[in-house]
Chain A
Amino acid sequence: MKYAGLLVMPAGFFLSIAALVLFPDPVQRTAFVVCGLGVECLGLVVAVRGHMEARGERRP
């Protein structure tokens, strides 16, 4: 689950980069960059959840 989260994060980065290239309009561009950041945050949350589950299984 941690790895899934870490794999989702670059998708958010590429979304932000795509926004620069695809949208000359500042409002649309900003919205898509923020969406990219949202995807990254989602990936981070999944990675952190994965870490917590792994820790719970390994506790002495």
Chain B
Amino acid sequence: MNQQAALPLSEAAFALTLALVFLAPLAIAGVALINTGLGRSRSAAQALLGSLAILAVSAIVFALIGATWTGTAGAAGHTLQLAGKPWDWLGAGPLLLGGLGSASAQSQLALLFEFMAVALAALIPWGSGADRLRLSAGCAVAAVMAAGVFPLLAHWIWAGGWLARLGANFSLGAGFVDPGGAATVHVLGGLSALAVVWIAGSRTGKFPKEGLSTALPGHNAVYVLFGCLLALVGWLAWNVAGAVIWLHAPLAALPVTAVNTLLSAAGAVVATFTVTRVRFGKPDASLCANGWLAGLVASCACAGIVTPGEALAIGLIAGIITPLLVELLELALSIDDPSGAITVHAVGGLWGLLAAGIFAPQPGQLVAQLVGIATLLGLVLPLVYLLFWLLNRVVAFRVDPDGERIGMDLHELGGGAYPEFVIHRDESYR
């Protein structure tokens, strides 16, 4: 049994947090809209239907299996004894959400938060596989993440697992800190996106034999930018709710958490706007959207523990890194990521986790954050790659070439998202 039971919430804090968790799906809606807008028009309906399907599959699988392995702080868990220290590595909750009704209200609230988190994590690789990832493959990826990988990370970080206990066991600050899900949601999602892109390959015509990669711009900048605004509401709720549930932050600290979230996103979008303006002569809408989202992602780890000035600096750095890395991945590393999820979620999340260590007041916090980052890069990326590689043998990730040519909407759904629009011939298939 792990030792770190959750502190009880006051009634006011509980009611506020419950209301905030109800707003968290707006972050999921925003990301779904951004993914759809950054894909092509002939795959738009499949992209949005896929988002709904992924949300549903991840919720069901997490309820059936994942929640058992996630467990709750203070409850039973599987623990190894290594070098005289307990290493709590897996939860041992009741099967099929048994006893949920009799669990404490706070445990139920944490579980609801985890349902939102697993859905968002599973949605992130879907955007990177746009225009070639089959609907069944997206759902299978979501099922694997909800059943196996997310519960491991959520237990280690949120449910009193070994990463959360680094402070108690090794005097490393407050242990690995991630109240908004930068690691459990965004880095996991971003690394899963990298694995999916590696396995599914790039879109046909994206990287011709000679010359630079072909630009395949998103089909609807309005969806993308409106998705960013929608995501802001969800993120504000997400970070504040996370601060209450996982950091046990007092009510008086919550407005600062929200201000930090906003400042991080604002700093990031201004930085991306400036970088793209300098590099291309005009600001790039899709890269600015990526910058905005990277600022929000970076804030997940640290909005509850840094000052507003530090949050602004964190956002500025995230906004500078994002457009440069999107360009590097596409032009130099031949990684076809239509939604920019690898940069936005994986790198933005890693930067946020590192920043939480740099700016945290407790000694040893930076090392705790570095150990968490080492776990994500060294264990989670190879693990998801292996799982997805095996999954691809059972459920083929990539659609056949004919399906990719006519578009995922016609191929998988039998009808397009915009039936009254004329679809122009794609030059890359000549």
Residues of A within 8 A of B (CB): 2, 6-7, 9-14, 16-17, 20-21, 26, 29-30, 33-34, 36-37, 39-41, 43-44, 48, 51-52, 55-56, 58-60
Contact = CB atoms under 8 A, between A and B. Distances in A.
A10 B376 CA distance: 10
Interface residues of B, number: 30
Contact of B207 (A10, A29, A43, A55): A55
Contacts of A44: 377, 381
Given A30-B367, A33-B370, A59-B208, A52 B378 contact: no
B371 A7 contact: no
**3 tightest CB-CB pairs across the interface, nearest first?**
A13-B378, A16-B374, A21-B83
A10 B379 contact: yes
Contacts of B170: 20
B198 interface: yes
B367 A48 contact: no
B375 interface: yes
Given A16-B378, A21-B82, A37 B370 contact: yes
Given A33-B371, A59-B209, A9 B377 contact: yes
B335 interface: yes
Contacts of A40: 374, 377-378
Given A7-B382, A37-B377, A48 B82 contact: no
A54 B198 CA distance: 10
A9 B208 CA distance: 31
A37 B367 CA distance: 11
Nearest to A49: B333
Given A20-B371, A30-B370, 19 more contacts: A10-B382, A13-B374, A13-B375, A13-B378, A16-B370, A20-B170, A36-B374, A36-B378, A37-B374, A39-B378, A44-B381, A48-B335, A51-B333, A51-B335, A55-B202, A55-B334, A56-B334, A59-B208, A60-B208
Nearest to B198: A51
Contacts of A39: 378
Contacts of A9: 377-379, 381-382
A17 to B, nearest CB: 8
B385 interface: yes
Contact of B198 (A2, A14, A41, A56): A2
B207 to A, nearest CB: 6
A55 B166 CA distance: 41
Contacts of B374: 12-13, 16, 33, 36-37, 40
Contacts of B382: 6-7, 9-10
A23 to B, nearest CB: 10
A32 B107 CA distance: 37
A47 B358 CA distance: 29
A17 B163 CA distance: 11
Given A40-B374, A44-B377, A59 B207 contact: yes
